[in-house]
Structure 1
Amino acid sequence: MIDATAYLNNVNQNSTPKPPSKELGKDAFLKLFVTQLKNQDPVNPMQEKEQLAQLAQFSSLERLTNISKAMEGLAKTVNTVVGLTSTGYIGKNVMAKGISVSKNGEEATSASISLPASCKSVYVDIFDKKGALVRSVEMGSRDAGKFDFKWDGKDKDGKAAADGQYRIAVRAEAPSGKKVLAEIEVSGKVKAVNTAGGQHVLELEDGRKVLLSNVTRVVA
C-alpha cells in the first residue's frame, strides 16, 4: 500500500506542460509533399520511384496514426470499465502491497509478511508519521513463506500508542548473515473509490489510501 495522498500531490506538482512534438504529422507530411511537387524543377522533375517512396511513407504514417488513436481510445475505455468495476470493492476488506497500518483504540490493522528465504532473525519496526521508532517487535526465526503480523498498539515502554496511522518495516537476516528483503501486505476496509492522474485510488475507512493496482486479494 502506498501513500496515495503523497502520490496525488506529486501528480499535481509535476503536471508541467509537454513540449511541442518534433514528429511530422500526416497533415504536415502531405502539405510538404504537395509543396515539393509544386516547386520541383520542370527540367529535372521528381522521379516516379521517389514519389512512390514518399507516398509509401505517408501511407505508413497514416496507418500508424490511426493505430495510435485506436489504442488511445481502447486505453480510455478500459480505464473507464476498471473505474466502474472498482466500485465493487466498497465495503470489502482488501489486502494490498504497502507499509501503512492504522490504530484505533485497542485495535490495529493487520499485515501479512512474505519472506523469500528462511531467516534466523526477523524484526518488525513500527514508525510514527514523523519517522520516529515507536516499537521494534522480535519475530524470531522464520521459514520462507508468509506469516501474519498484528501490532498490539503499544510502544517500546509498553504504553498504548496514540491513535492514527503508522508505518512498518521488516528487518530480516538469513543464516549466512545476508539481509533478506521482505514483501509486506496490509489490510483495510474500502470506503470509497476515487480517480486521479489516470489511477484508481481506494479510500479506506481509517483514512488510508491505496492504489487499486496494489490490491492483491479481497478478504471476506
Structure 2
Amino acid sequence: MEHVTNSLTEQLYWGDKKQVGKDQGDGKLGQEDFFRLLTQQMSMQDPTKPMDNDQMIAQMTNFTMAEGISDLSNEFKQFAANMTSNQALQASSMVGQKVLIPSDVSYFNGTRPVDGIVSLPQSGDNVQVRIKNEAGEIVHTIDMGTLPQGQHNFSWDGTLADGSKAPNGDYVIEATGSMGTQTEALPALTYGFVESVSMGGQGGIVLNLESIGRVDLRDVIQITSGGA
C-alpha cells in the first residue's frame, strides 16, 4: 500500500518535477512543451467525459498556427534588417557623387562648377539663368537663348564679370523664359555633392550633402559621377 500511496502522491504533485521544455530560459512554450501538456491533460481527464477528438485537433491546430505566425514575424523582421543593411551598403557607394535634387540652392567650393537643370514645360525664348549670392545680388547671368520643351543643363565655373573667382558659399539659381508673350519663372534644379550617408527614421537612407545638409534618398532625381 505504501508503494501505491507514493505513486499516487507523485501523480498529484507531478508539477514539482518541473518537467518543462529544454528552453527554460526564454519562458516560451515550444512544440515539445505543448504535446507534453496535452498528454498530461489527457491522462488527467475525467474518464466519464473524455476529451473530444475535435477539441484536441482544434488545440493542436491553434498552437501550430500561433507558432507559425510567430516564426513568420521573426523571419520578416530579419529580412527587413537585412534589406536595410544592403540599402545602406549600396548607398555608401554614393559618397563623392553628385545628385540632382529639387532645390534652387547650390554650393560653390572655389573649384567645382555650379551645375543644374532648367525645366521648360514648352518651348521658350530668351531663357536666362541668374545666379545670386547670399545677399541677393546677381553675380552672373547665363543666356541660354531659345530652347525646346524639356530639361536643359547649365553650368557656372564661378567666374565673375571682372574675371575673378566668386567666394565660396551658397548661391541661389533663378531661371526665366518667354512663353509666348509673357516672361515666366522656370523651375531650376541643382546638384549637390554627397559627403556621407546615414540611416534615417524607419530605416530610410539619408544623404548628407556638402553645405546643403540632409536629403532623403527618395528625393534624389538623378545621380551623376562626382567631380574634383
Could you state the TM-score of these two structures normalised by the residue count of structure 2? 0.52
Q: Structure 2: how far apart are the matches of 1:178 and 1:122?
A: 9
Who is 1:65 aligned against? none
1:121–1:174 CA contact under 8 A, matched in 2: no
Q: Is the counterpart of residue 98 in structure 1 residue 103 in structure 2?
A: yes
Aligned residues: percent identity? Answer: 26
Describe the shift of the 1:107–1:172 C-alpha distance in structure 2 as closer, same or farther (beyond 3 A). same
Q: Secondary structure at the match of 1:154?
A: coil
Alpha-carbon separation, structure 1, partners of 2:111 and 2:193 = 17
2:215 corresponds to 1:186: no
Change (3 A) 1:211 1:156: farther
8 Å contact from structure 2 (residues 132, 138) kept in 1: yes
Which residue in 1 is equivalent to 2:151? Answer: 146
Structure 2 stretches lacking a partner, 5+ long: 1-76
Matched, 1:116 2:121: yes
Which is bigger in relative contact order (C-alpha 8 A, separation at least 6)? 1
Query: What is the CA–CA distance in structure 2 between the aligned matches of 1:107 and 1:89, rounded to whole Å?
Result: 17
1:119 deviates by 0.8
Change (3 A) 1:189 1:142: same
1:158 CA displacement: 4.1
Question: Quick one: which amino acid aligns to residue 149 of structure 1?
Answer: F
Runs of 4 or more, structure 1, over 4 Å off, are 195-200
Aligned-residue offset at 1:115: 0.9
Computing the radius of gyration from Cα coordinates, the structure with the larger value is 2
Q: Give the Cα separation in 1 of the matches to 2:111 and 2:197.
A: 27
CA-based RMSD of the aligned residues comes to: 3.1
Give CA deviations for 1:53-97 in whole Å, capped at 9, x if unaligned.
xxxxxxxxxxxxxxxxxxxxx9xx69x839735444334332222
- Work out the CA distance in 2 between the residues paired with 1:158 and 1:91: 29
Residues in 2 aligned to 1:171 and 1:178: alpha-carbon distance in whole angstroms = 7
Displacement of 1:197 in angstroms is: 6.8
Instruction: Give 5+ residue unaligned stretches, structure 1.
Output: 1-73
